[in-house]
Amino acid sequence: MAESVKRMPIIDCDVHNRFKDGKMTALWPYLPRAYQEDVREWGINLSGVGYLNGGDRGYRGDSWPKEGFPGSDLDLMREQLLDAFNVRYAILLGQELRPLGTLPNADYAAALAHAYNDHLIEQWLAAESRLRGAMLIATQDVPQAVKEIERIGRHPGIVEVLVANGARLPYGNRCYHPLFEICEAHGLPFALHTGSEGAGINGQPSVAGYGSYYVENRQVRPQGYMTHLTSLIFEGVFEKFPKLRVVFIEGGYAWLAPFLWRLDADWRGLRHQTPWVKRPPSEYVWEHVRFTSQPLEEPDQPADLLEVFKWNRAGRTLMFASDYAHWDFDSPTDAFPRLSEELQRRIFYETARELYGFPVAASAAEQTVTAD
């Protein structure tokens, strides 16, 4: 952005908290004894896809605390993110356990989700008033996932329900509808984060199969989001659950408008096949779906993004995300072209505030600072 930016309050919609040892040790007190013993014997045993993404080196070089892993030290998170950028609220999405949907053992996956959510509430949300949490669920057993949402969905620090982009079925499939019913009843957005594509029991990451390199895997993430979004619309999810909101995290943004142009055109020609879809698909998106900014596309001319923002109605669909503490962290002062004051206010605070029910920011809290 410009050299001088407003120090407006920010809501960061994608922050990755981790365990100190990068493993499961901190979860043992929250797990049934049988699973504690299994983990001690065999490890966490989550499925991966084998791409080289740096592993524990896929983080900012300065984000490593004296002890532990990036994202595991609250004081460092305060220093580098919350205090540095006047982040009023940061939504924690976890890291190690997001591939829950890759596990063939549905009971173990549900137990991990239960344990992680209790750890999140007790060890993170209770320690810092600016933190909010996305609760994890395991979709292998939808009734168990519904019970988990019922169990902690009313907790004031829990603001959304989180699953991975990688899945066995597109999320509009009717087997998931009980999840949307309980999300709607609790006022919780249903959020998807990239990851787990092609891992474990999930389907292959793209219609062409598996690429050889991580960069190939990274580029097909929007294909998964396109699939899920099409499924949500044409399975009638937004008609059946009119108060449901869905968030797509870390899957790009520039693809949205051309995709919706094609979707609207196909709906007009094929609407007789899905008569319950009563409006053009784009209208459901403008009303029900939100996207996060990181990783923001980087055209040769940064100002070209402003045209994309216009097409995508960024003032109502785009929310800021830093992806702290990963290597491709987006600084709020550097990641965007020059925005109008109103658009900046919408992206950095207001759209997320409306979605998650956060307080209105006092304009008097804004002040001018010089960007690094």
pLDDT score of 81: 98
Name the band, by pLDDT with cuts 50, 70 and 90, for residue 43: confident
Which burial class, exposed, middle or buried, applies to 59 when counting CB atoms under 10 A from its CB (0-12, 13-18, 19+)?
buried
Pairing of strands 289-292, 246-249: parallel
pLDDT greater than 90 at residue 250: yes
Question: Between these two residues, 178 and 48, which has the higher pLDDT value?
Answer: 178
Question: Between these two residues, 230 and 5, which has the higher pLDDT value?
Answer: 230
Is the pTM of the predicted complex or chain greater than 0.85? Answer: yes
Name the band, by pLDDT with cuts 50, 70 and 90, for residue 100: very high
DSSP helix/strand/coil, 38: helix
How confident is the model over 356-364, as a mean pLDDT?
81
Out of 3.30.160.100, 3.40.50.620, 1.20.81.30, 3.20.20.140, the CATH code matching 11-335 is 3.20.20.140
* DSSP label of 102: G
Beta-bridge mates of residue 11: 89
> Which of 58-67, 150-159, 360-369 has maximum average pLDDT?
150-159
pLDDT score of 368: 36
pLDDT (tens digit per residue) in 188-198: 999 999 999 99
Share of the chain above pLDDT 70, in %: 94
pLDDT greater than 70 at residue 55: no
Tokens of 103: 């596990």
How confident is the model over 104-112, as a mean pLDDT?
95
- How big, in percent rounded to 5, are the helix, strand and coil portions of the chain? 45, 15, 45
pLDDT greater than 70 at residue 120: yes
Name the band, by pLDDT with cuts 50, 70 and 90, for residue 162: very high
Name the band, by pLDDT with cuts 50, 70 and 90, for residue 1: low
Name the band, by pLDDT with cuts 50, 70 and 90, for residue 268: very high
pLDDT greater than 80 at residue 116: yes
The mean pLDDT value of the chain amounts to 92
Which sequence spans correspond to the domains of the chain?
A: 11-335
Question: Between these two residues, 99 and 164, which has the higher pLDDT value?
Answer: 164
Name the band, by pLDDT with cuts 50, 70 and 90, for residue 54: low
Lowest mean pLDDT among 31-40, 235-244, 293-302: 31-40
Lowest mean pLDDT among 64-68, 132-136, 241-245: 64-68
**How far lies 255's CA from each of 54, 262, 329, 343, 352, in Å?**
26, 11, 21, 20, 21
Place of tokens 């902690």: 152
Contact status, residue 287 vs residue 280, Cβ threshold 8 Å: no
